[in-house]
A and B are shown apart, each in its own frame.
Chain A
Amino acid sequence: MNYPVWIVPYLGGGWIIGIIAIIHVYLSHFAVGGGAFLAITEGLAYKRKDDRIYDYLKTHSRFFMILTSVSGAVTGVAIWWAIALVNPDGTAILIQNFTLAWALEYLFFAAELATVFVYYYSWDKISKEQHLLLARLYCFLSIMTLVIINGILTFMLTPGLWIKTHYWLDGFLNPTYFPSLIMRLLIMFAIAGMYAMVTSSRLQDQDLRSYMAKYCAKWLLPIFLAGPLVAFWYISNVPQATMSTIFTGIQSSGVGNFSILARTLYLSLILSGTIVLFAYFGPYLNPKGFTFRIAILFLACGLGATGSTEYMRELLRKPYVVYNYVYSNGIRKEDVPRLSQEGFLNAGVWSKACTAQGENNEQRGEVMFRYQCMSCHTATGYRSMKKLLGERDEDAIYGFLTMLKETNPEKNQYLGIMPPLTGRDEELKDLAKYLSTINKANVNLTFKPN
């Protein structure tokens, strides 16, 4: 409420972050897992004195370098732009707390980029021992970026002691830090194996292709063996309120928002389970029959599993950006009673300025909608208010909004998935007035404050 709002019609700002973030996850996981793959496989080529593997790695590393450094860097910066525009209040809290961590991550990232370029362009120009050393250096640097960013990502779901101390290291080394770090490493190894299957399936040498297909399949073995245990470790540290939301979805109707977490969990489990079977029956048992087309489909399933798991992780902390501290609409939990009593619109710098320009109740209601609802909903597109409100008139909407204002879970069943609404009764009435116009016709966001 202290910053301008970025309006993304139909799709909503959340999806902009989601789409960019999922692509970035695919690339960044490949960058880290692929770093380990390059280092270990080059070590294998060195040990076996096998020039064919060296030749394969040269081709694979070009694909690797272009994909991770160009696309990875572009999407990484794009995430910053997107989160800062869609959720500036939440982003500000993360930056203020983790300035040092992010600066460190940037240093490691810059060093990682420099190393991958040197690695690729120094093939056949330096000794094999030196080149292997470069591969290992790249592997170390890329893992270090994960070591840091993992602390910030897990902080958002399990801030741990930070809630009391507000000391950054308490938030960084939070309860899910280590299980998440190990789980991500396992996923990264699996993804590296799957990407490498695609490149190795193009090899002309039949024997080498079979050997590499089988070798790449083994990169999925760690997650198969350790994944369930680490997942259990992770889940046992996740807030119990979140776990109960999953069980609500298992027991309740499949249609609707309450089951979304359970549905994503099912999809993630099924896709992950079938990938392990796929790796066994495909490249491991039948490496000769593992063609480029099958490798692409396999990779698509793997990325589907990763995407759904990431989406589920994001959903776990609903309705918060930082669990138990800041809601997804940027309002701090501790500010809710004050905002409800003193009013919402005049409490923030930018929302106050916008409200001052509102000529009527409807326009003030629209400002309320932008700041409190639009981080998750759109007027007529994704999670459309028009659809969700159905046939309700202004009074019925107001009644519904007063229920959403309740902070007692017994009176407001939406608290597990939505932030409580804040604001005085007049502000809620303004919001109801505006929402009733969305309801009646195809009215979209119209108010344009200077």
Chain B
Amino acid sequence: MGWLDERLGLEAAFKFAQKKQVPIHKNSVWYYAGGIALMLMVIQFASGILLMVYYVPGLEAAHASILRINSQVDFGWFFRSIHSWGANLLIAVLVGHLFSAYFMKAYRKPREFTWYSGLVLLVICLGFGFTGYLLPWDDVSFFATKIGLDIASKMPVFGEAAASLLRGGHNIGQGTLSRFFVIHVAVLPLLCLGLMGLHLLFVQMHGMSEPGYFKKLEAAKRTYEKFFPNFFLKDVLVWLLALNGLAALVTLYPWGLGPEADPFGAAPIGIKPEWYFLAPFQFLKLVPPQVGPIEGELFGALLMVLACSGMVIVPFFDKGESADKAKIATYYGLVLLLGIIAFTIWGALS
């Protein structure tokens, strides 16, 4: 240990971990969300690397390679199911983590960069979901990607250029598959690792955020526990529980594979995107084809961007100096969250 300590400074890291404290209050349970997300991220990287051994990103080979993983490779279906279910759970946990941080006002000074890095990490994970969805090259993923890119192309200024760049031409084909594969296994992982490192660094620098009611308590009434070993040991238990939840989903509902994509065929009836894109999908269905001089999809997309922009400007709007602004920020968060939930359920049921 001494040899390692001289080179890695383990003693200092250990002391820091012992010094770090976690506040204990009625919403402390949300502090575990970040740890679960980190664990799921590690699982995604590990299972993704295993899948890459057998996956072939070719137009003729992609679907067949996933079929082979699913039906011939030892433990193939197991790791594919882990990757697919893990991705869904990760996004669900990240959304929970984001909104819990939001309602605890964790975006306020000095945690603005922690907030932004978390926000970008969620966008990156949605990007993982979008690009990974196409890779099996089955009919649902093909048409869902087509719809997604069509919507993206309607965005002003860079929309068409970005969609064309992702598509690799006018139609979805080998170019799209190659681009999505590279983005999914190289570009996004690099961005994700870098940002995750920064996010964790910021969390260590500023410590755990405390909700307003906790800060207002007298010093004697504010209770804390040591991050190491107390909170860390409980964190491990929560990881194990999350792992068990993932294992139950993987084994009880293994991930299937649809028929191979036929670009010249009709889109499957009632096609829907993954649940995390259901809210915008459902919202866009409500917008008429033309709103005044603006095309309906563009109008809808702009409205959604506007609705979500509050998450970006909130650190500068609600700095903790005005109670009214704090209230407005809370109501905005509530409306946004309830809107997302309502549109997702509506989308799933429709």
Q: Which residues of A contact B (CB under 8 A)?
A: 250-255, 259, 263-264, 266-267, 270-271, 274, 277-278, 281-282, 285-286, 288-289, 294, 297-298, 301, 304
A-B contact pairs, 9 of them (CB 8 A): A266-B250, A266-B251, A267-B251, A267-B252, A270-B251, A271-B244, A281-B237, A289-B230, A301-B241
Q: B324 near A: Cβ within 8 Å? A: no
Using C-beta atoms within 8 Å of the partner chain, give the interface range for chain B. Answer: 20 to 34
- Whether, in the assembled complex, B255 has its beta carbon less than 8 Å from a beta carbon of chain A, the answer is yes
Whether A251 contacts B254 by the Cβ 8 Å rule is: no
Q: A259-B77, A286-B233 are in contact. Are A297 and B241 (CB under 8 A)?
A: yes
CA distance A259 to B241 in the complex (A): 24
B41 on the A face (CB < 8 A)? no
**Interfacial chain B residues near A301, Cβ < 8 Å:** 240-241, 244
> Which residues in chain B, 198-254, are within 8 Å of chain A measured between CB atoms?
225, 229-230, 233-234, 236-237, 240-241, 243-244, 247-248, 250-252, 254
> Closest approach, in angstroms, between the C-beta of B314 and any C-beta of chain A?
32
Task: Decide yes or no whether B6 CB sits under 8 A from chain A.
Answer: no
How far is B76's CA from A266's CA once the two chains are assembled, in angstroms? 13
B72 sits at the interface (CB 8 A): yes
Instruction: Determine how close the nearest CB of chain B comes to the CB of A307; give it in whole angstroms.
Output: 11
Determine whether the beta carbon of B247 is less than 8 Å from that of A251.
Answer: no
Q: Which residues of B are found within 8 Å of A297, using beta-carbon distances?
A: 237, 241
Taking a contact as CB atoms closer than 8 A, the residue among B81, B233, B251 that contacts A281 in the complex is B233
Closest to B234 in A: A289
B74 proximal to A (CB < 8 A): yes
Chain A residue numbers with a CB within 8 Å of B252 are 263, 267
Closest 9 A/B residue pairs (Cβ):
A254-B77, A254-B254, A286-B233, A270-B247, A267-B251, A263-B251, A253-B71, A281-B236, A274-B240
| Apart from A254-B80, A255-B77, A267-B247: 16 A-B pairs, beta carbons within 8 A | A252-B71, A253-B71, A254-B254, A263-B252, A270-B243, A270-B247, A271-B244, A271-B247, A274-B240, A274-B243, A281-B237, A286-B233, A294-B234, A298-B237, A304-B244, A304-B248
In the bound complex, CA of A289 to CA of B22 (Å): 13
Give A305's nearest chain B residue, CB to CB: B244
In the complex, whether B158 has a CB less than 8 A from a CB of chain A is no
Whether B75 sits at the interface, judged by CB under 8 Å, is yes
Given the complex, which residues of A lie within 8 Å of B71, measured CB to CB? 252-253
CB neighbours (8 Å) of B251 from chain A are 263-264, 266-267, 270
B25 → chain A closest CB, angstroms: 15
Cα distance, A157 to B236, chains bound together (Å)? 38
| Given known A301-B241, A304-B244, contact A254–B255 (CB-CB < 8 A) | yes
Q: Is the CB of A253 within 8 A of B70?
A: yes
Contact with A along B91-119 (1 / 0, CB 8 A): 00000000000000000000000000000
Residues on the A chain within 8 Å of B237, using CB: 278, 281-282, 294, 297-298
B317 at the interface (CB under 8 A from A): no
B234 touches A286 (CB 8 A): yes
Total A-B pairs, Cβ < 8 A: 77
What residues of chain B have their CB less than 8 Å away from a CB belonging to chain A? Answer: 70-75, 77-78, 80-81, 225, 229-230, 233-234, 236-237, 240-241, 243-244, 247-248, 250-252, 254-256
State in angstroms the CA–CA spacing of A251 and B80 once bound together.
13
Residues in chain A near residue B81, CB distance under 8 A:
254
Measured between beta carbons, the chain B residues less than 8 angstroms from A267 are: 247-248, 251-252
CB distance from A297 to the nearest CB of B (A): 6
Q: State the CA gap A286–B233 with chains docked (Å).
A: 7
**Residue among B74, B233, B250 making CB contact with A285, cutoff 8 Å:** B233
* Cα(A297)–Cα(B32), bound, Å: 15
Chain B residues, Cβ within 8 Å of A294 = 234, 237
Closest chain B residue to A291 by CB distance?
B234
In angstroms, Cα B199 to Cα A198, docked, is 37
Contact B70 A254, beta carbon cutoff 8 Å: yes
**CB-based contact A250/B75 at 8 Å:** yes
Please, how many angstroms separate the alpha-carbon atoms of A294 and B74 in the complex? 35
CB distance from A362 to the nearest CB of B (A): 33
Q: Which residue of B lies closest to A282 (CB)?
A: B237
Report if A277-B240 is in contact (Cβ < 8 Å); known contacts: A251-B74, A254-B70. Answer: yes
Asked if A282 and B233 make an inter-chain contact with CB atoms under 8 angstroms apart, the answer reads: yes
A264 proximity list for chain B (CB < 8 A): 251
A254 and B237 CA atoms in complex are apart in Å by 28
Q: Tell me how far the C-beta of B195 lies from the nearest C-beta in chain A, rounded to whole angstroms.
A: 29
| A278 contact set on B, CB distance < 8 A | 237, 240
Closest to B243 in A: A274
Which A residues lie within 8 Å of B241 (CB)?
Answer: 297, 301
A278 to B233, CA, bound (A): 10
Known A251-B74, A253-B70, A254-B254; judge A270-B244 contact (CB<8 A): yes
A286, chain B: closest CB distance, angstroms? 4
Q: How far is the CA of A52 from the CA of B20 in the complex (A)?
A: 36
Q: Closest Cβ of chain A: how far from B29's Cβ, in Å?
A: 9
Complex Cα distance A274/B246, Å?
12
Q: Which of A251, A259, A286 contacts B229 (CB 8 A)?
A: A286
Min C-beta distance of B258 to chain A, whole Å: 11
Cα A297 to Cα B233 in complex, Å, equals 15
Q: How far is the CA of A288 from the CA of B233 in the complex (A)?
A: 11
Q: Closest B-chain residue to A288, C-beta based?
A: B230
A301 and B238 CA atoms in complex are apart in Å by: 12
Looking at the assembled complex, report how far the CB atom of A352 sits from the nearest CB atom of chain B, in whole angstroms. Answer: 41
Give A448 to B152 CA distance when docked, in angstroms.
60
Nearest CB of chain A from residue B35's CB, rounded to whole Å = 13
- Residues on B with C-beta less than 8 A from A250 are 74-75
Q: Is the CB of A286 within 8 A of B230?
A: yes
- CB < 8 Å: which of A266, A277, A288, A298 contacts B247? A266
B234 to A: closest C-beta gap in Å: 5
Complex formed: what's the CA distance from A259 to B240 in Å?
25
